[in-house]
Amino acid sequence: MELETEKAVREETDQLSYIPRTPLGKRLLAIRAKIVANGTPLLDPDEIDKEVAARRGGAQDDSV
């Protein structure tokens, strides 16, 4: 569990140092900041895939 915490802290630090170069990047980073400030947990890549599949009405593969 400690390794996951360290990884999360490292990723958050990397993202804090990210400076968007485009208006879209700035907008997306602002949206992310609002989500984090609200306390809503961010999705991991697998959760994103499931969310996209559900929104598109596609079949979901729960065996992964």
> pLDDT of 38-64, one tens digit each?
999 999 999 999 999 999 987 656 655
> pLDDT of 2-20, one tens digit each?
555 555 556 665 666 788 8
Find the mean pLDDT for residues 28-37: 90
Residue at 39 is within a domain:
yes
Residue at 45 is within a domain:
yes
Helix or strand holding residue 53 (H, E): helix 45-56
> Would you say the pTM of this structure is higher than 0.75?
no
What is the reported pLDDT for 62?
Answer: 60
Distances (CA, A) of 23 to 12, 26, 32: 21, 5, 14
Residue at 6 is within a domain:
no
As for how many domains the chain has, the answer is 1
